[in-house]
Amino acid sequence: MAADTTAPALPLAEPVPGAPNRPPAALQARAWLARRAEVVAIPVGAVVAGFGLFSLFLLVLGKSPVDFVNLVWRGGFGSPFALQNSLQRAAPLLFAALCVALPARLGLVVIGGEGAIVLGGVAAAAAAQPLQGWPATLAVPLMALAAAGAGALWIGAVGALRAYRGVNETIASLLMSYIAIALSNHLIEGVLRDPGSLNKPSTWPIGEAFAVGPLPGLDVHWGLGVGAIVCLAAYLLTERTTTGFAARIAGGNVRAAQIQGLPVGRLVVGFTALGGACAALAGFFEVAAVHGNANASLNAGFGYTGILVAFLARHNPLGIMPVAFLLGGIEASSGLIQRRMQLPDATVLVLEGLLFLVVLLSETLYGRFKIFSPHLWAEKRETSNGAAAAA
C-alpha cells in the first residue's frame, strides 16, 4: 500500500556503545533536515521528470514544450486572474484529496470520493428546504453538517465493510460511488426535484440567503479557506495526536497494532468516515457557493482528480495544499493550451497521468539516496568527534 511507504522512522541518534555524548543540536538538526529534504526532493524531482517525459510527448507531436510551460504559467499562475482561477479549481480538490489521504494513513486505498461529493451536495440541498427562514449563520453550518454526515455514512460504510467483513475497500468505494451517483440522480429527478426545472432536473434552490460568498478581496469562494483549515486539522490529527499515531501503526502493520490492543476496526471506520465527510464538503460548497441547487453537474470528476492529488502529496494533508494548487493551475491553463496550441483537452490528462506514474515509481526511491540518509550525517558527527579527540 502506498501509505506504508513512508520512510521508516529511523532512530536519529543511535546510542553508540560507550559514547554517552549526545550529538550537538546543530548536527541533529542537519540530520533531521536531511530526512525531511528527501520527502520534498523526491516528489519535486518526480514532477520535474514527469514534465520532462511530457516534453518528449509534445516534441513527438511537433509542439514546443517551451510554449507549453509558458502557457501553463500564463494560464495558471502568471496574473491575479490566473492565480484566482487556479485557487478556485484547487478548492474542491482539497476536500476530495483528503477522502483518499485520511484512509491511506491506515493503508487503505479509497477511490470513491466522487460519490460522497455528489451525495454531500444533495444532502446539503435537501437540508436547506426545512431550514428556510432560519438565520443563515445557523442554517448554513447545518447544511454543511448534513453534507458531511451523508459523506461520512457513505465512505464510513466502506470502512466498516473492510474492517468487519474483509471487503476490498478500493472496489467497494468505487461501486458505492456509482450507487451514490445513481441514488442522487434518483432523488434529484424524483422527490427532491423542483418541478420548474424541466430540461435540467434540479432540487429546489437553497435560496440567496443561504448562498456562501467569496473570500474577502478574492474571486474564490469560501471552499478554499475552509479546505485549507480542514487540511491543517487533518495534518494535526494524523501527525500530532495519539489517534493519528495509532492509525499509522495500524496502517504499517495490522497484526502489530492488534497485538498492541489498538482498536483497528474503529480506526478504519473513523478515518474512512472522516474522509467521506471531507469529500462531501466539496459537494456542499458546489451547492452553496456555486450552483445554488443540487443537479447532475455535481458529478464533475473532482473525486477522481482528488486521487491524483492525494498520491502526489504522498497522503500528507499539508502536501495536499500545494499539490492541489499545482493541479488547479494545470487545469486552469488547460483552456489556454487548447486555444493557443490547438492541442486537445486530453493533453493535460496525459500530463496528469505521466505525473501520477512517475510519482508512484518514485516511491521506490526512498532510502536509495545516501545524501538524505541521517546515518551519513551521523558518520560526519563521529568523524568530527574523532577529529576533535585527535586534536
Partner 1 sequence: MAAHSLSRRHLLVGTSAVALGSLPFARARAASPLTVGFIYVGPKDDYGYNQAHAQGAAALKAIPGVQVVEEENVRETTDVQKTMESMINLDGASLIFPTSFGYFDPHMLIECKKNPKVQFRHCGGLWTEANPKNAGSYFGYIAQGQYLNGIVAAHASKSKKLGFVAAKPIPQVLNNVNGFLLGARSVDPSITVQVIFTGEWSLAVKEAEATNALIDGGADVITCHVDSPKVVVETAARRGAFVCGYHADQSALAKGKYLTGAEWNWASIYKNFVADMQAGKAPPNFVRGGLPDGFVKMSAYGPAVSDAARANADAVKAEMMKGGFAIIKGPLKDNKGNEIAGSGKAFAENAIELEKTNYLVEGVKGSA
Give the Cα-Cα-Cα angle 364, 366, 368 (nearest 5 degrees).
95
- Interaction of residue 22 with partner 1, rule CB under 8 A: no
Q: Do the Cβ atoms of 320 and 116 come closer than 8 Å?
A: no
- Interaction of residue 336 with partner 1, rule CB under 8 A: yes
- Interaction of residue 199 with partner 1, rule CB under 8 A: yes
Shortest approach of partner 1 to residue 202 CB, angstroms? 9
- Interaction of residue 200 with partner 1, rule CB under 8 A: yes
Segment interacting with partner 1 (CB under 8 A) among 34-42, 74-82, 241-249, 271-279:
74-82
Q: Which of 75, 151, 276, 306 binds partner 1 (CB under 8 A)?
A: 75
- Interaction of residue 243 with partner 1, rule CB under 8 A: no
Nearer to partner 1, 106 or 336 (CB): 336
- Interaction of residue 105 with partner 1, rule CB under 8 A: no
Q: Which of 221, 314, 315, 381 binds partner 1 (CB under 8 A)?
A: 221
Residues 107-146, one symbol each (x = binds partner 1 by CB under 8 A, - = not), give ----------------------------------------
Q: How many Å separate Cα 17 from the centre of its chain? A: 44
CA-nearest of 107, 106, 135 to 2 is: 107
- Interaction of residue 173 with partner 1, rule CB under 8 A: no
Q: Which of 9, 25, 198, 389 binds partner 1 (CB under 8 A)?
A: 198
Q: Do the Cβ atoms of 119 and 183 come closer than 8 Å?
A: yes
DSSP string for 121-186: HHHHHHHHTTTTTS-HHHHHHHHHHHHHHHHHHHHHHHHHHHHHH---HHHHHHHHHHHHHHHHHH
Give the Cα-Cα-Cα angle 56, 59, 65 (nearest 5 degrees).
85
Q: At what angle do helices 65-76 and 25-61 cross, to 10 degrees?
A: 120
Q: Do the Cβ atoms of 52 and 358 come closer than 8 Å?
A: no
Nearer to partner 1, 75 or 276 (CB): 75
Shortest approach of partner 1 to residue 136 CB, angstroms? 18
Residues contacting partner 1: total by CB under 8 A:
33
- Interaction of residue 88 with partner 1, rule CB under 8 A: yes
- Interaction of residue 66 with partner 1, rule CB under 8 A: no
CA dihedral 282, 286, 292, 298 (to 10 degrees): -110
Shortest approach of partner 1 to residue 289 CB, angstroms? 8
CA-nearest of 202, 191, 349, 217 to 286 is: 202
Please name the residue that has the C-alpha cell 553508540: 16
Nearer to partner 1, 87 or 359 (CB): 87
C-alpha cell at 117: 461529493
3-state secondary structure of 214: strand
Nearer to partner 1, 356 or 369 (CB): 356
- Interaction of residue 64 with partner 1, rule CB under 8 A: no
Binding site for partner 1 (CB under 8 A): 74-75, 81, 85, 88-89, 182, 185, 189, 198-201, 221, 286, 290-292, 295-297, 300-301, 331-332, 334-336, 338-339, 344-346
